[in-house]
Structure 1
Amino acid sequence: MGALEDVAARLQKSIEHVIEGKSEVVRSALTVLLAGGHLLIEDVPGVGKTMLSKALARSIDGTVRRIQFTPDLLPSDVTGVSIFNQSTRQFEFRPGGVFANIVVGDEINRASPKTQSALLECMEERQVTVDNSTYYLDDPFMVIATQNPIEMEGTYPLPEAQRDRFMARLSMGYPIERAELAMLDSHAGRDPLADLEPVTDASEVAKMASLVSEVFVSQGVQRYVISLVTATRQSGELRLGASPRAALHLVRAAKAHAALDRREYVIPDDVQRLVLPVLGHRVLMTPDAAMGGRRNEDVLRSVLEHVPVPESGREPGPQNIAPGR
């Protein structure tokens, strides 16, 4: 795990060179990267959503593509299209914006639902099918999408199937006063991204993701995850609970969180810290609960309070030889 910690520390330092005062948000983004997931960043305009996604992309020496989602964007702009070549008398495939290690989808909910759905196959299966031909995407492959709240003008809500493919949703929030003063001092006269150099490459990220996948998860922790997602499905305040994919994403993210904490095993604390970002965008409130002022986060916090925490989940392996934190 030593190499992983070193690379993760360099990535965090590089991103924080651009994003002031958001260490926890940056760490969460790195957790999703190491877990092999996709990241949705949602907040009001101007708080640094695109800056965070571009800083993460530029810190990795791999292929990066940015897709600006607009109402006139077509699905073929995202996935690619077959063009007939007059000289060869054959169709040739022109790759779309998703053919890269890091794909930055800016303001994803400004495109039509039809265009948004073009990402479904590539985010889940790491491939694109065009005209009955399948094209495989690079490894690693990560989509970092930003979106404005649906109350903003000119936005379309993401379909449930699209939201479920994002491992986590983060909110930037406004910076604290000290961080905002530092931003005015350092960013007002220049673009901070211009000085950003890669601190690792795509192959190293793939190796780190492979190490994360080997982190141990006990049966107790696995049952705890299942209990949490089952509780969301049985909640009277939710009309849509967490999916089986959500449970899988929660385990993968917990593995990455444990690895960043220099542990080779997952403890319930890892799961608890990730329930809100991993499940919050997947569940839907009932109309009565929403009218009563309840939010997704409130229901998930209630679930965390009522689902028992397993003591057997605090060990590195089946031998129960060492306690966690």
Structure 2
Amino acid sequence: MEETTENPLEFNNRIDLKDLQESVQKIKEELGKVIIGQQEMIELLIISILANGHSLIEGVPGVAKTVTAKLLAKTMAVDFSRIQFTPDLMPSDILGTSIFNVKTSEFEFKKGPIFSNIILIDEINRAPAKTQAALFEVMAERQITIDGIKNQMKAPFLVFATQNPIEQEGTYALPEAQLDRFLFKINVGYPSMEEEISILEGHDQRKNEIPTDIIQSILTASQIAEYQGIIKSVIIEKNLLTYIASIISNTRDNGNLYLGASPRASIAIMNASKAHAAINGRDFVTPDDIKKVAPSVLRHRIILTPEREMEGFTTEKVVLQIIETIEIPR
């Protein structure tokens, strides 16, 4: 009789993740036609879509922040809107305004560019506080109240925002309440030498081809909604919820931090870890999923004490220290 050996790492998912995984892979392949490297940024942006969360992308000029977000939006057959933030931008330039119609003798609301599915906000830290505040309601509740009337945003509604970390002149720090509304803050670094060569070769080969014309749409609005529903069904054990709560609690009692993370951060880690598990073919969350997404969820939600900031500490370093000190559930 022939012996059969079973792989102990194999398991049967209770949720069918095949279509979701294939779609994610196709999106990565489409972006790979233009974007070289930046795999972490692409994966985190895909996770943010599946977890129905907004993302803040920070990096120096020229590292493909805007292009990646724009091309990712192109892989989805949904409405796309790009808003360039400037110091003179007013809330009505984003949300819209009521205009008097002479024919009907009534005011009509003209929708602003925020009424779309995927919103790319370029250089979000260039607009003043009044304009930043215009985003609070729509980012948190997916609705806008104008003249006492609530306008519900069509799903999906996701904001991708970019900012440059090195520019000081003409920029405004984002309020903590607004930062807390971003699921992720994604730090984008320079490409490696090999990646830089590939970037040059790609530009040379494309000649006059426009990058957005190369990218094909993969997902529809209904598919995105379906996948977001699947993510909510991914299983997370109670001991892992305790693990997440322990990480968040540590940020509030940490001597290196002036401000800890809010309950919104713990929910964000849970949702993002579910999405990370799903795109890796699992219908259950592991500690590694949590450890993978936690730095991007927390780095913009916590504030260092002045002493630690002067010593050159970073929020990223504190988060990693916290994760290392907390016992991993078994």
- 1:16-46 deviation per Cα after TM superposition (whole angstroms, max 9, x unaligned): 2221012222111101110000011001111
* Corresponding residue of 1:305: 324
* Corresponding residue of 1:103: 119
Instruction: Tell me the distance in 2 between the aligned counterparts of 1:236 and 1:16.
Output: 43
Instruction: Tell me the distance in 1 between the aligned counterparts of 2:166 and 2:199.
Output: 28
* Corresponding residue of 2:141: 125
- 1:224-276 deviation per Cα after TM superposition (whole angstroms, max 9, x unaligned): 10000000010011111011101111100000000011111111110011111
* Corresponding residue of 2:102: 86
* Corresponding residue of 1:237: 256
Instruction: Tell me the distance in 1 between the aligned counterparts of 2:26 and 2:136.
Output: 32
* Corresponding residue of 2:296: 277
Q: Is 2:33–2:214's contact at 8 Å kept on the other side of the alignment?
A: no
- 1:49-71 deviation per Cα after TM superposition (whole angstroms, max 9, x unaligned): 10111011111110001111111
Q: Is 1:16–1:22's contact at 8 Å kept on the other side of the alignment?
A: no
* Corresponding residue of 1:289: 308
Q: Is 1:61–1:199's contact at 8 Å kept on the other side of the alignment?
A: yes
Which region of structure 1 is more displaced relative to structure 2, 187-196 or 173-182? 187-196
Q: How far did residue 11 of structure 1 move? A: 1.1
Q: How far did residue 151 of structure 1 move? A: 4.2
Instruction: Tell me the distance in 1 between the aligned counterparts of 2:241 and 2:167.
Output: 37
Which protein has the larger Cα radius of gyration, Structure 1 or Structure 2?
2
* Corresponding residue of 1:263: 282
Q: Is 1:16–1:26's contact at 8 Å kept on the other side of the alignment?
A: no
* Corresponding residue of 1:252: 271
Q: How far did residue 72 of structure 1 move? A: 1.1
Consecutive unaligned residues of structure 1, counting only runs of 5 or more, are 312-325
Task: Choose the corresponding residue for 2:88, options 60, 72, 87.
Answer: 72
What is the CA RMSD across the aligned residues, in angstroms? 1.1
Q: Report % sequence identity.
A: 42
Instruction: Tell me the distance in 2 between the aligned counterparts of 1:269 and 1:73.
Output: 42
1:156 aligns with 2:175: no
Instruction: Tell me the distance in 2 between the aligned counterparts of 1:151 and 1:105.
Output: 17
Q: Is 2:34–2:202's contact at 8 Å kept on the other side of the alignment?
A: no
Instruction: Tell me the distance in 1 between the aligned counterparts of 2:34 and 2:109.
Output: 37
Normalised by the length of structure 2, the TM-score is: 0.92
Consecutive unaligned residues of structure 2, counting only runs of 5 or more, are 1-16
1:15 aligns with 2:31: yes
- C-alpha spacing 1:179/1:150, structure 2 compared with 1 (3 Å): closer
2:45 alignment partner AA: A
Instruction: Tell me the distance in 1 between the aligned counterparts of 2:33 and 2:141.
Output: 33
Q: Is 1:50–1:146's contact at 8 Å kept on the other side of the alignment?
A: yes
1:170 alignment partner AA: I
Instruction: Tell me the distance in 1 between the aligned counterparts of 2:203 and 2:297.
Output: 32
* Corresponding residue of 1:203: 222
Instruction: Tell me the distance in 1 between the aligned counterparts of 2:26 and 2:98.
Output: 40
Instruction: Tell me the distance in 2 between the aligned counterparts of 1:78 and 1:250.
Output: 29
Q: How far did residue 166 of structure 1 move? A: 0.3
1:213 aligns with 2:238: no
Instruction: Tell me the distance in 1 between the aligned counterparts of 2:73 and 2:186.
Output: 16
